[in-house]
Structure 1
Amino acid sequence: MTQIDRRFVVGALLATAASGPAFGARCRIARASLDAGWWPRPGLPARIQEIYPTVLDGRIFVAGGLEARDGPDVDAISDQLFVMRRQTEVAIGDTEAIRIACDFDWESRAPLPEPRHHPNLVGHDGFVYAIGGFRAGNGGIWEMIPNTTRYELGSDEWVEMAPMPVPYAETCAVSLGGLIHVATGRQPDAAANANWPDHGDRGDHLAYDASRDSWTRRAPNPNPRNSAAGAVLNGQFHIVGGRRVGGGNSDQHEAYDPVADTWQSRAPLPQAQGGLAAAVSGGKLVAFGGEYFDNGGGVYPQVWIYDPELDHWQAGPDMPTPRHGLGGVSLGDEIYAIGGASSASGRNTTNLVQRLRLAE
């Protein structure tokens, strides 16, 4: 299956979206070993992929995405916002490697103004921003948008802010140096903007100043691609992996210095992976998941751990349920792998949430 075919398959599966039910929050207590590895956490209330969650004030936020409502394959675009709060964990005893991990159930909050897939969520200056992505319209489900939509938890409201200067999606977005940075992804190649083939890879780098509600341009990423993963490590914006419309999966890895406004190449991923997620724990960058399309297609179980002092990757514990289109965030010293599909394209979309603790 070619990459374009993949998008047509997803498009054929999608149906109209509608808001889901509300989910009350309650605390699920679970005993979990202090040993390194993966542990299950409360699942999402819906099966969703192509999400970019974020963390703000100890809460995880997930909004939008491609949803599987009536079966395991995507058939809708979601407008739902789910929020989960984590309680401080308490060690038990002096010798037992046991603790109580308390994650509240996911709670449904105010939906996005419209169903969107691939919106990048960024926690920044007390708000959650949903940036870019796609919506259904004008003859397709891949109408790319420039929207910057801000969510405030206290009022439970979304507000439209200044849009990006261009539509942008399948990007990486982080909060860094007082700005929101958005880099690499895809944009429309011409006037058409409704289907996946209408867009091409870009290395554009845009920065949003919330105090001025305005966007400016920064140094572009030298390796245009889409579906990469991004995270902030040691004050720099790292982008890893991804794929190119005509070139397949990528192993490239760059780091952006916001002071110098420059990108530098770093050690590439040991394996080219697109549609992956990344997060930071213990001063290291962790990349995981993704999909491939040759030989019938599939998903990657591999987890890669990057040490910035050595500029070196090493293998981590494989994902217990390999997925692509998933989200990755970190809370404390642990990483959450959220949602995604266990088969390539829009098939076998899950609501799984699993948590990784790295070995010390």
Structure 2
Amino acid sequence: MSKCWGQERTSRRLARGNGAQPTLSEQTPKQSEHRPGIRVKTARRQREMRFLAIRRIVSRERGKTLSPQKPFTGNDGRVYALGGMGSDAAPQALVRVYDPARDHWQPLPPMPTPQYAASAFLKGNKIYVLGGRQGKLPVTAFEALDLETKSWTKYPSIPSRRAFANCAMTEKCFYSLGGLQQPGPHNFYSRPHFVNTVEVFDIEQGNWTKQSRSTRMREKRADFSVGHIGGRVIAAGGLGNQPVPLGSVEGFNPTKRKWESLPAMNTPRCSCASLQIDNMLFVIGGVAQGPSNAVEALCDRESI
């Protein structure tokens, strides 16, 4: 398998290794030199304050208007928008569909669990919604909207409560990855901490399994981008225990049952928008030292 990162508006490519190894295309855009100044007393407190500071930058950039969940296009060409955050910062349960032929938004049955920042996937005639947040609290709900019957179904909740986690979908499974683990009665930690957790929902069996240590992600990360290309689940960038956003990328090899390193992003960042088209995963914008305008794509060349 050959994978590469492509930077928009550049044709310059740097080869690494032989033809079977990933290659990298890069053009680093100018980044803001600004870095929030935060006084800290401990390494742990520094990581927490850094995480909150970067999130404040993201919130300021997005503004305080109604912020719907990331919309996506269905097989019928319609655009679906689910949940989101209202102008009062309250989580929303609204579900709407846009018909481009009629230039009209139509309401659909609201979600059973109001939330924002969740992961949504279209599979068959159902939209699956996993995780998300309600204020500072992570949501573990796993629900699906049947587009034919216009009804919601609840599935077993995500096993662990993690903020800024992310989810991916394959042909047979849903993956809930990483995040910021919240303190709880059974947790050793008294503060939120980054994790490399991997939890898998088997669609046929209808249950969640928590993976062994050998199948956890290589890096502890939160607020990162995910995708599924070339038969592998991809985790890119995000925030971890380092003093700056991550640029590392890893993919889960289902044959070897382990995560493997992939070419790093040219611009390390978190809080990115992502878009998957065929076997290309686009990572758009986000936060590096400040707001970033980088647009990069990880592609599986064998599928192009």
TM-score (norm 2): 0.72
Equivalent-residue separation in structure 2 for 1:325 and 1:76 (angstroms): 11
- 2:205 aligned partner: 260
Aligned partner of 2:239 among 291, 298, 301: 291
Q: Name the aligned partner's letter for residue 263 of structure 1.
A: W
Separation in 1, partners of 2:140, 2:223:
17
> CA–CA distance in 2 between the matches of 1:128 and 1:305?
29
Counterpart-to-counterpart distance in 1, 2:198 and 2:155:
18
Say if 2:198 and 2:210, in contact at 8 Å, map to a contact too.
Answer: yes
- The code of the aligned residue for 1:262 comes to N
Q: Tell me, yes or no, if structure 1 residue 357 matches structure 2 residue 299.
A: yes
CA deviation vs aligned residue, 1:137-180 (integer Å, no higher than 9, x gap): 2xxxx211112122334444433321111212232221224311
8 A contact 1:171–1:226 mirrored in 2:
no
**Distance of aligned partners of 1:128 and 1:78 in 2 relative to their CA distance in 1, 3 Å threshold:** farther
- Other-structure match for 1:175: 122
- Distance change >3 Å, CA 129–CA 204, structure 1 → 2: same
Q: Deviations over 1:25-45 (max 9, x none)?
A: xxx98646596445469x9xx
CA contact (8 A) 2:11 2:25 kept: no
- 1:89 is matched with which residue? none
CA distance in structure 2 between the aligned counterparts of 1:282 and 1:163, rounded to whole angstroms: 34
Do 1:284 and 1:305's aligned partners in 2 also have CA atoms closer than 8 Å?
yes
Q: Distance in 1 between matches of 2:218 and 2:148?
A: 40
- Three-state SS of the structure 2 residue aligned to 1:182 is strand
**Contact conserved, 2:168 with 2:174, CA < 8 A, in 1?**
yes
Structure 2: distance between partners of 1:339 and 1:301:
13
Of 113, 128, 136, 1:166 maps to 113
Return the offset for 1:116.
0.3
Residue of 141, 144, 147 corresponding to 1:210: 147
Alpha-carbon distance in 2 for matches of 1:227, 1:74: 14
- Counterpart residue number, 1:101: none
Which secondary structure does the structure 1 equivalent of 2:86 belong to? Answer: strand
Distance 1:151 1:252 in 2: 36
Instruction: Quote the residue 2:71 is aligned against.
Output: 121
Paired residues for 1:295-334 under 5 Å = 297-334=243-280
CA contact (8 A) 1:132 1:146 kept: yes
Deviation at 1:245, TM superposition (A): 4.1
Deviations 1:261-304 (A, max 9, x none): 11123321111111011011111111011124x67x53111101
Question: How far apart are the structure 1 equivalents of 2:59 and 2:219?
Answer: 27
Distance 1:152 1:349, change over 3 A: farther
List gaps (5 residues or longer) in structure 2: 1-7, 16-21, 30-56, 184-191
Cα shift readout 1:5-34 (whole Å, capped 9, x = no counterpart): xxxxxxxxxxxxxxxxxxxxxxx9864659
Q: 2:118·2:130 contact (CA, 8 Å) conserved in 1?
A: yes
Counterpart of 2:98? Answer: 151
Q: Cα offset for 1:73?
A: 6.8
Whichever residue aligns with residue 182 of structure 1, its letter is V
Contact 1:249-1:273 within 8 A present in 2 as well: yes
What code does the residue aligned with 2:207 have? Answer: T
* Contact residue 172 and residue 239 of structure 1 kept, 8 A: no
Partner-residue secondary structure (3-state), 1:269: coil
The share of aligned pairs that are identical, in percent, is 22
| Paired amino acid for 1:270 | R
Q: Following the alignment from structure 2 to structure 1, what is the Cα–Cα distance between the partners of residues 220 and 140?
A: 18
Equivalent position SS for 1:220 = coil
- Go from structure 1 to structure 2 and tell me whether the alpha carbon gap of 1:302 and 1:182 turns closer, same or farther (over 3 Å shift): same
2:225 to 270, 277, 289: 277
Give 3-state SS (helix, strand or coil) of 1:75's partner: helix
Contact 2:282/2:297 (<8 A) preserved: yes
Q: Distance in 2 between matches of 1:219 and 1:181?
A: 12
- 1:134 corresponds in structure 2 to 85
- Residues 37 and 357 of structure 1 are in contact (CA less than 8 Å); yes or no, is this contact kept in structure 2? no
Query: Whose strand proportion is higher, 1 or 2?
Result: 1
Q: TM-score, normalised by structure 1?
A: 0.61
1:184 aligns with 2:131: yes
Gaps of 5+ in 1: 1-27, 44-71, 80-113, 188-195
* RMSD across aligned positions (CA): 2.9
Q: Distance in 2 between matches of 1:291 and 1:29?
A: 27
Could you tell me which residue of structure 1 aligns to residue 62 of structure 2? 77
Separation in 2, partners of 1:237, 1:123 = 19
Partner Cα separation in structure 2 for residue 232 and residue 32 of structure 1: 32
What is the aligned residue count?
A: 249
